[in-house]
Structure formats: structure tokens, C-alpha cells
């Protein structure tokens, strides 16, 4: 069940890379 969720997250993450939003937290 979790595999499906991870796959979905990976798919939308590939389309909308929101990684830069998590990095600004660092100084």
C-alpha cells in the first residue's frame, strides 16, 4: 500500500520539483 503512495509522490515530485522549498530552511 505504501509503495503506491511513494510512487505517486515520486511522480508529482518529478513534475513539480519542490525540493528547493525545503532547502531554504538552511542558512
The domain ranges of the chain are 1-27
Q: Is the pLDDT of residue 15 over 80?
A: no
pLDDT tier at 14, thresholds 50, 70, 90: confident
C-alpha 7/C-alpha 11 separation (Å) is 6
Q: Is the pLDDT of residue 3 over 70?
A: yes
Of the two residues 18 and 14, the one the predictor is more confident about is: 14
Q: Whole-model pTM?
A: 0.30
CA-CA-CA-CA torsion sign (5, 14, 12, 23) = positive
Q: Give the distance, in angstroms, between the CA of residue 15 and the centroid of all CA atoms in the same chain.
A: 9
What does the mean pLDDT of the chain come to? 71
Amino acid at each position: 500500500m505504501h509503495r503506491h503512495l511513494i510512487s505517486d509522490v515520486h511522480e508529482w515530485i518529478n513534475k513539480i520539483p519542490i525540493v528547493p522549498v525545503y532547502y531554504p530552511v538552511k542558512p
